[in-house]
Amino acid sequence: MHKPAGILVSGNKFKTIANALPQNIRPGKLPDATIPQPVHRLDYATTGILLAGKTNKCIRLLNKMFENKVVEKTYYAVTIGNMPARGKITTEIDGKASQSGYRVQQSVVSKRFGKLNLVELFPKTGRRHQLRKHLASIGNPVLGDKIYGAEGLVLHGKGLYLHAYSLEFTHPITQEKLFIKDELPERFNKIFG
């Protein structure tokens, strides 16, 4: 499903994706069908593809696949400043090993920010705010990042330019190879269109 910005995936708030799923997804027909639930997280401000399971077995297996890092995730971000065409960031997060690969797809000159980059991201680990922290650590914060952005270079009212673009994995039950994507938001295309 597409997760919009400004909504939590789960938690103890009323307005969450987890709470909305039972009203928006048909229940499964298998014997172990349960209330649909997300099997991974996206930050509150991040948009993009979110995977949910509808049976106890599938939820358990998908959770394990994310835990074992066998789901390939691709994100896109708009970053600020000059950056190498590609790279790997291995800065520890919260004392834990972390790794994100990136590839700059396009860059444009910006009066306000100097340069804006459309960056394809490949997180290998799944730490909290990993991509945002990693990009900020190399001096290329995500546009609109109020937490890790550069002082004076925060974009107000436009949101965070971080999008969960695709998931690639083998379905844990059917063994079908799946590639699921959620196209870039229009606001990305306005900068790089």
- Backbone φ and ψ for 3, nearest 5 degrees, come out as -100, 120
Q: What is the mean pLDDT of residues 119-123?
A: 98
Q: Which residues are catalytic?
A: 43
Handedness of CA 156, 99, 71, 190 (dihedral sign): positive
Q: Which residues is 164 bridged to in the sheet?
A: 48, 75
pTM: 0.93
- End-to-end Cα separation, the chain, in angstroms: 25
Task: Categorize the per-residue pLDDT at 2 as very low, low, confident or very high, splitting at 50, 70 and 90.
Answer: very high
Q: Is residue 53 part of a domain?
A: yes
One domain, residues 78 and 135: yes
The residues near 31 (Cβ < 8 Å, ≥ 6 apart) are: none
DSSP state of 34: E
Based on the fold, state whether residues 51 and 107 are members of the same structural domain.
no
> For 75-95, what is each residue's pLDDT tens digit?
999 999 999 999 999 999 999
Judgement on whether residues 94 and 111 belong to the same structural domain of the protein: yes
Beta bridge partners, 176, equal none
